[in-house]
Amino acid sequence: MVFVIYLETAYYVTRIVMKKGVFITLEGSDGSGKSVQAGLLIKNLKKLGFNVVHTREPGGTAVAEVLRKILLAPKNKIFPLTELLLYEASRAQHTEEIIRPALNSGKIIICERYSDASVAYQGFGRNMDKNIIFRLNEIATSGLNPDLTIFFDMDIKKGLGRARRRGKDRLENEDFEFHKRVRKGYLWLNKKFSKRIKVIKANDTIENIAKKIFDIVLIKITRIRAN
């Protein structure tokens, strides 16, 4: 009897203390404000006492950061299939080394770019077979999907103008049509996964966008943790 009471108490204490992890990704074209908003969101979440991890793709781990350098260096000539596989390799390492352990220990993960980026950039930007990309994403992440994705939508010319002020990388060097297809890809994903992906108009002030994102994120965290 005493043992049963002990077990029940332990169960309830564990439920209260062990918070559920929440996986949030930020997506959108280059210069749409992901990094700026990730910084603000994390600052606001930490103020409320949340345990937050900030990470990004490609990269996020020592091995994946090496892959990032290869992928983004303008001098590298990389074939579309090589590019896709390098992104997936980086994703596999990043998922196992950072995201899954952080989720299992109940943290909030804010990740700039994830699987959706491969569908948008390689699937739409490079016109590669989307089914193959979905399958590779599934393999690289062992089926892990974000709980919430914020898609920063904005006029491509404005976004590229913003990003180019700090110097172009290999993908930003692509032509305007490529970036138009990438945006189309993100909008297509938004339609397909409308419950997970929330669109934010990125052509607003930094403060207004930060407020909108904070509201969406808090609702999501509360819902997940209430269950």
Ligand X SMILES: Nc1ncnc2c1ncn2[C@@H]1O[C@H](COP(=O)(O)OP(=O)(O)OP(=O)(O)O)[C@@H](O)[C@H]1O
Residue 174 near which of ligand X, Mg ion, none (CB within 5-8 Å, type-dependent) = none
Rule CB under 6 A: is residue 117 a binding residue for ligand X? no
Q: Which of 35, 194, 208, 222 binds Mg ion (CB under 5 A)?
A: 35
Q: Which of 21, 23, 25, 31 binds ligand X (CB under 6 A)?
A: 31
Distance of CA 136 to the CA centre of its chain: 17
Residue 73 near which of ligand X, Mg ion, none (CB within 5-8 Å, type-dependent) = none
Could you tell me which stretch among 33-41, 80-88, 139-147, 212-220 binds ligand X (CB under 6 A)? Answer: 33-41
Q: Which of 109, 182, 197, 209 binds ligand X (CB under 6 A)?
A: 209
Tracing tokens 């103008």 back to the chain, one arrives at 161
Distances (CA, A) of 105 to 17, 25, 94, 202, 218: 11, 18, 16, 32, 19
Rule CB under 6 A: is residue 88 a binding residue for ligand X? no
The CA distance from 4 to 13, in Å, is 14
Minimum distance from CB of 192 to Mg ion (Å)?
A: 24
The answer to whether 152 and 206 are in contact (CB under 8 A) is: no
Burial of 137 (0-12, 13-18, 19+ CB in 10 A): buried
The CA distance from 89 to 194, in Å, is 27
Q: Which of 19, 162, 196, 198 binds ligand X (CB under 6 A)?
A: 162
Under the rule (CB under 6 A), what is the footprint of ligand X? 28, 30-36, 162-163, 204-206, 209
Under the rule (CB under 5 A), what is the footprint of Mg ion? 34-35
